Amino acid sequence: MEDLKTSETWRVFRIQSELVEGFESLNDLGPAVSIFGSSRLSPGNKYYDDAVTLARMLADDGFAIITGGGPGVMEGANKGAKEGKAHSVGLNIEIASEQAPNRYQDISLSFRYFFIRKLMFIKYAIAYIIFPGGFGTMDELFEALTLVQTKKIQSFPVVLYGSEYWKGLIDWMKQTLVANGTIDKTDFALFSIVDTPEEVRFLINEHYRVFGGMMK
């Protein structure tokens, strides 16, 4: 007979446990912003340093900062939040490489399952800020755009940071996706592209000023 701990039934219990822990830990977090970006960028890199500055600004404005909890841009954002006046949250993931929790988290959770972690990112954030990154960053970006486009969640700011980095992707979307009719030109209104922490700060605060009382 199959051992319970190696069965699919046991996996359901693990999933349930992660959901409960996430909900209980973040339920009273207040307005928060999720920041994504590469784990491979170090202090001194422009995007790492800008993540520190931006997260500190937003934390001083009263927004908790949520990241994937790892190194790189995630570390920069948690560091900035820690220096500011709001919670610094890390949603860590158990993977074979690259993920070592950074030391700047005052709320730290660990997830085995990506889909539960992604639920926490989206459920407790009033905005997504997408710094330059790789596959994981792209995954979070396009999931958020899909949820907003299909109206599965309330529309919220999805901000791409660094126009130079994102230019090639945006050009490809226009020249290939729009040209072939797989997305519409109006879909570009689902996100913004910015180059300074001050621009992001303005977008987030303005959105929360207008829609904060109506948000989940």
Q: What pTM value is reported for the model?
A: 0.92
The pLDDT value recorded for residue 97 is: 66
Identify the H or E element spanning 122: helix 114-123
Q: With beta carbons less than 8 A apart as the criterion, state whether 163 and 125 touch.
A: no
* Predicted confidence (pLDDT) per residue in 41-93, tens digit: 999 999 999 999 999 999 999 999 999 999 999 999 999 999 999 999 999 99
Torsion of CA 141, 89, 60, 125, to 10 degrees: 40
Of the CATH numbers 3.40.50.450, 3.20.20.70, 3.40.50.2300, 3.30.540.10, which one belongs to the domain with range 4-214? 3.40.50.450
Distance in Å from the first CA to the final CA of the chain: 45
d(CA 204, CA 33): 9
In this structure, the strands spanning 107-111 and 127-130 are: unpaired
User: Does position 152 have pLDDT exceeding 60, yes or no?
Assistant: yes
Q: Residues 145, 106, 103, CA angle at the centre, nearest 5°?
A: 90
The pLDDT value recorded for residue 95 is: 81
What Cα–Cα distance (Å) separates residue 140 from each residue in 20, 134, 200? 22, 10, 18
* Predicted confidence (pLDDT) per residue in 17-49, tens digit: 999 999 999 999 999 999 999 999 999 999 999
Beta strands in the chain (DSSP E): 32-36, 64-67, 88-93, 107-111, 127-130, 158-161, 192-194
Look at the chain and count its residues.
Answer: 216
Identify the H or E element spanning 74: helix 73-83
